Each structure stands twice: as C-alpha cells, then as structure tokens.
Structure 1
Amino acid sequence: RGADFVVIGRPILDSADPVRAAKRILEEIED
C-alpha cells in the first residue's frame, strides 16, 4: 500500500484539486 502513495503522489500534486484527487484514489485503493 505504501508504494501506491509514492506512485500517485505526483498526479495528486499536479491536480487542480489535490484533496479531491487524494480521496478518490484512496477509495480506489480500498476497493
């Protein structure tokens, strides 16, 4: 799970809405 955060870190930072992007990715990881 830790590696996922490393991989997705950059898209979140580049996103216009980092918080929403992070929440959406967290939901996808949990599914």
Structure 2
Amino acid sequence: MSKERERERNVLHLALLLGLRLVAAGKEPEAK
C-alpha cells in the first residue's frame, strides 16, 4: 500500500471516530 493511500485511510478513520464522538456527545450532553 502506498503512503498516500495509508494517509487517506487514517484521515477517514479519524473522521469516523470524530463523527461517532459527536453523535455520542449529542446523545449524552454531560459525557465528555
């Protein structure tokens, strides 16, 4: 796998984690 593809995957993975955290924060405003 090329470095560029690997970086692309990392960015997508981070975006997914951020999205999940935002959803969790939306469901539980008190949770940090």
Q: TM-score range by the shorter chain?
A: 0.3 to 0.5
Q: Larger radius of gyration, structure 1 or 2?
A: 2
**So what's the TM-score if we normalise by structure 1?**
0.47
Structure with the bigger percentage of helix: 1
Normalised TM-score (structure 2) = 0.46
